[in-house]
Amino acid sequence: MTPRNLPRPAIPLIALVIVVALALLGPVLAAHAAAKVTVSGQPDPDGATTVRVSGSGFQSIPKAFGGIYVFFGWVSDPSGGSWAPSRGGVSGDTYRYVPDAETAQNAGYQRFVAFPGSSTEAEANGGTIASNGTWSTDLVVPGARFEAADGTAVDCTAVQCGIITIGAHGVRNANNESFTPVTFAGSDAGTGTDGAPGGDAGGAENGVSNDAAGSSGAGNEGGTAADADADAGNEADDKSKEPGKASLGVDQATAVVGRVMSFGAQGLEPGEQVSVTLDDGVVAVGPLVAGNHGEVAGLVELPSDLRTGTHVLRLTGASSGTEIETEVTVTRDPAEVSAAEEAEDAAGAAGGATSGTTGTWRPEETAVGVAALLLLVVILSSLVTALKRRADRRREEREAGDPPPGDVPAEQEVRA
């Protein structure tokens, strides 16, 4: 055997090292650009406005569960990220948004932008996140004032509001969380009679009317009649909010195992706290606060191991004692075509909930990965060096005329 016929392990081993390095370092070195949102259009402080919302730098995970929710609302930390779900933020506490049904044909206050090929893509009313991390959708901004999903009144002339993006369907994903401030046209929007932000503009009009009415006896009488009419109207409203008039409903399209189901109720006492439970406490939400008109809306996450079929959703009012319930038919997602896809979705959701991010290594995981790569490189380099030295030694022995151990000269083989 001549030197040129000896095996050359160096080249394939080096190629193997390169391949392994790329496989291990790919997730570590791949940096996601910071999620960025732009808004086209100037919202009206006094009415609903449709604006165009576009995102870039978002994480797109093909066939992964969920995507992102796009809301208009308020966050407790506009210049930071402490409000975000991945950092312990909670809806109704660190952020609030305009509620809407989670259906394709909702009022436009909430958009769901899905991952491409996701099992939930059919529900998306805001399109999908492209492979380059971009997306675009229309969003309805209700005005400078709105009632949040937890029933809290938010005045965007007194606090900073804007566009909120978070991971959809309960999956926390720090890469896709963002807040983009939005300002309203007119610097005097929402300014009260004292000029302070957050005042009720309607209060100024009422003040003018009351002053004018107070300038004459006739005005006072008119004001008294108006008060009587208002009292009569309030009595009518109170009757409409009796416990027997209360009702509870759900968006049946969202009643899917492992998903977030939306519900709404009306006819409650304004401002009262309510709690909502599924069956005998399988899932519970609350306390929620009824709005100024006795309405409340919320979301409840259905467990992944919840049986399909009929369940009972029950709402209880703390102050009025109102108890209302409705039957819900829970189904399984028809888009789940194989057990493998279900396992992949569950693993993706569990990974996002544990690490606070999906598809990106944490610092300690990165350190472990780099250490493992370095160890692999050292081992392979040592192997390459040892094989090279062995080949050099065999070549030197042949050149000296001494056969290496185990080799027998050709003439000796013939004699044998």
Q: State residue 208's pLDDT score.
A: 33
For 228-266, the pLDDT digits (tens) are 444 444 444 444 334 347 888 888 888 888 888 888 888
Ranges of residues in the chain with a pLDDT under 70 are: 1-33, 185-244, 335-365, 401-416
Largest Cα span, the chain? 141
Q: What is the 3-state secondary structure (H, E, C) of 299-353?
A: EEECCCCCCCEEEEEEEEECCCCCEEEEEEEEECCCCCCCHHHHHHHHHHHHHHH
Q: Which helix (H) or strand (E) holds 289?
A: strand 283-289
Write down the pLDDT at residue 52.
95
Report phi then psi at 131, rounded to 5: -60, -25
d(Cα 234, Cα 254) in Å, to the nearest integer? Answer: 35
pLDDT at 20: 54
Look at residue 260 in the predicted model and tell me its pLDDT: 85
Q: What is the DSSP letter of 92?
A: T
8 A C-beta contact, residue 136 and residue 128: no
CA distance 58 to 133: 4
Rounded to whole angstroms, the Cα distance separating 309 from 332 reads: 9
Q: Is the four-CA dihedral 280, 281, 287, 293 of positive or negative sign?
A: negative
Looking at residue 205, what is its pLDDT?
A: 35
- Angstrom distance (rounded) from CA 341 to CA 153: 41
To which residue do tokens 């009824």 refer?
290
Q: Which residues pair with 141 in a beta bridge?
A: 49
CA 155 to chain centre: 24
Token pair, residue 160, equals 């900073």
CB 334 within 8 A of CB 256: no
How far is residue 349's CA from residue 345's CA, in Å, rounded to a whole number? 6
Measure the CA–CA gap between 193 and 17, rounded to whole angstroms: 73
Q: How far apart are CA 138 and CA 39, in angstroms?
A: 10
**Residue 196 confidence (pLDDT):** 31
Task: Extract the tokens encoding 14.
Answer: 């080096």
Q: What is the reported pLDDT for 383?
A: 84
